[in-house]
Amino acid sequence: MKNIVILGATGSIGDSTLSVVRKHLDKFTINTLSAHKNVDKIIQLAKEFKPRHIVITDELAYQKVQQKLTIKSIQIHSGADVLNSIVADSEVDLVVAGIVGNAGMASVLAAVEAGKTLLLANKESIVSAGELVMPLASKNNAQIIPLDSEHNAIFQCLGDSYQTGIRPKGVNSVTLTASGGPFWKTDANQFKSITPAQAVAHPQWDMGAKISVDSATLMNKGLEVIEAHWLFNMPGEEIHVLIHPQSTIHSMVNFIDGSVLAQMGCPDMQIPISHGLGLGQRLVNDADFLNLLQQQQLTFFQADTVKFRCLQLARDAMFLGGTAPAILNAANEVTVAAFLAGQIRFDQIGEINDRMLNDIQTTKVESLTQLQDLDTEVRFKTETHINSK
Ligand code: NDP
Ligand code: MG
């Protein structure tokens, strides 16, 4: 029996994780589920899984849950800080990091500091704090298992040669595939009129709003290049991106002898998540099996980094190093939220991210507190810039 903490249990990653867990209740016990604002859903999940703890990070939502949920065996906690002690609890075996954005950074660091096996979906934390997370993982023997489908695909192709944060032997480069999102064929001069509803309607994957917009701007792929850089300890030049609209090949490893291994499957997060949860054992899940005859063809295209400037910005930030990825990531969280709220246009996401990356001074990464202060500063500057427009 593995004791699991699911951070962000009420989100899309939470849904897929719990779908897998539901099929394997003989293998997993839910220790903790966390939510931010979704009161009804966390109550429903608490009733179903009867975890030892639930954590509600939003204060108002916490008060509502406390009034409505009366199962004595479940301890109800409020605030983000408690997540850091819960993930470090000696009873906990696996931590699924499914919180969206920088809000998940402290709990990711706490899990690796405690030497836990971290199943990582929350890419923003490693983008911003990779320089802290990776040495801490190595010092405390924490294993980081990627759930992001591309990185999980690479992890599957590497097999036993994957070790957290160590450059795999015999590898020449990796190729991350990208569906291209809904607009890879759209003319750039139409970007001004793209609505939030169009941007979140992803052609292949069903995901939360923020990552769906990131997929539409290709910022998601940029963040994934940085994520791969940290997880596999590879330089940016050896991390390629290809548009592959069918989302059948989830990524590839190009070995030094010319062999290429790719991982394929239907675009369903239950597949990488069950692979991560299984820790080397394959687990059945509800994802469809791949039918290649229905696919007709698999196609690949170069990603256009002029049209999709966020992809280029992420590469620029990675080469700049230090706090540059954290600055870009924080700015992007604000611009995406502003776009979803109808405050800025789709094409302004990249424009404002670019401006923030260039205007805010990059320094060395030193500590979590420094990164949290920087996050507050970048959010403030980005919001001020948006409000002045
Ligand atoms: P969702 O928006 O669907 O879910 C986000 C989760 O985080 C919810 O449980 C939400 O709680 C919680 N949350 C939101 N804000 C806060 C906060 N300030 N503090 C604590 N918890 C918070 O996102 P996804 O599940 O799509 O994505 C989660 C992460 O996984 C992201 O980093 C994303 O990039 C990554 N990822 C997602 C994939 C996917 O298929 N969805 C694929 C690969 C990676 P509540 O709903 O209760 O407010
Ligand atoms: Mg991905």
Which residue lies with its CA nearest to atom 23 of ligand 1?
208
3-state secondary structure the chain: CEEEEEECCCCHHHHHHHHHHHCCCCCEEEEEEEECCCHHHHHHHHHHHCCCEEEECCHHHHHHHHHHCCCCCCEEEECCHHHHHHHHCCCCCEEEECCCHHHHHHHHHHHHHCCCEEEECCHHHHHHHHHHHHHHHHHCCCCEEECCHHHHHHHHHHHHHCECCECCCCEEEEEEEECCHHHCCCCHHHHHHCCHHHHHCCCCCCCCHHHHHHHHHCHHHHHHHHHHHHHCCCCHHHEEEEECCCCCEEEEEEECCCCEEEEECCCCCHHHHHHHHHCCCCCCCCCCCCCHHHHCCCCCEECCCCCCHHHHHHHHHHHHCCCHHHHHHHHHHHHHHHHHCCCCCHHHHHHHHHHHHHHCCCCCCCCHHHHHHHHHHHHHHHHHHHHCC
Helices 324-340 and 346-359 cross at an angle (nearest 10°) of 150
Q: Is the CB of 99 under 6 A from ligand 1?
A: yes
Strands 2-7 and 28-35: parallel
Ligand 2 geometric centre to CA of 15 (Å): 16
Cβ of residue 270 lying under 6 Å from some atom of ligand 1: no
Residue nearest to atom 26 of ligand 1 (CA): 208
CA 279 to ligand 1 center in whole angstroms: 23
Specify the pLDDT at position 58: 98
Q: What is the structure's pLDDT at 205?
A: 79
The finding on whether 164 has its CB within 6 A of some atom of ligand 1 is no
Ligand 1 atom 21, closest CA:
36
Instruction: Using most ligand atoms within 8 A of CB, pick from 13, 32, 151, 155 the residue to mutate for ligand 1.
Output: 13
Closest CA to ligand 1's atom 2: 208
Say yes or no: CB of residue 3 within 6 Å of ligand 1.
no
The class level of CATH for 2-147 reads alpha beta
Ligand nearest to the CA of 12: 1
CATH 1.10.1740.10 fits 171-267+294-388, yes or no: yes
Ligand closest in space to the Cα of 124: 1
Listed by start position, the domains of the chain span: 2-147, 171-267+294-388
Ligand 1 within 6 A of CB of 356: no
Atom 36 of ligand 1, nearest CA residue: 121
- How far away, in angstroms, is 86 Cα from ligand 2 center? 27
Which of ligand 1's atoms lies nearest the C-alpha of 148?
A: 43
Instruction: Give the chain's residues under pLDDT 70.
Output: none
| Centroid of ligand 2 to alpha carbon of 32 (angstroms) | 25
Ligand found nearest the CA of 204: 1
Q: Please tell me the distance from the alpha carbon of residue 173 to that of residue 312, in angstroms, as a whole number.
A: 19
- Given ligand 1 and candidates 108, 211, 376, which is best to mutate, with the most ligand atoms within 8 Å of its CB? 211
Is 46's C-beta closer than 6 angstroms to any atom of ligand 1?
no
For the CA of 13, the nearest atom of ligand 1: 25
Distance 13 CA to ligand 1 centre (A): 7
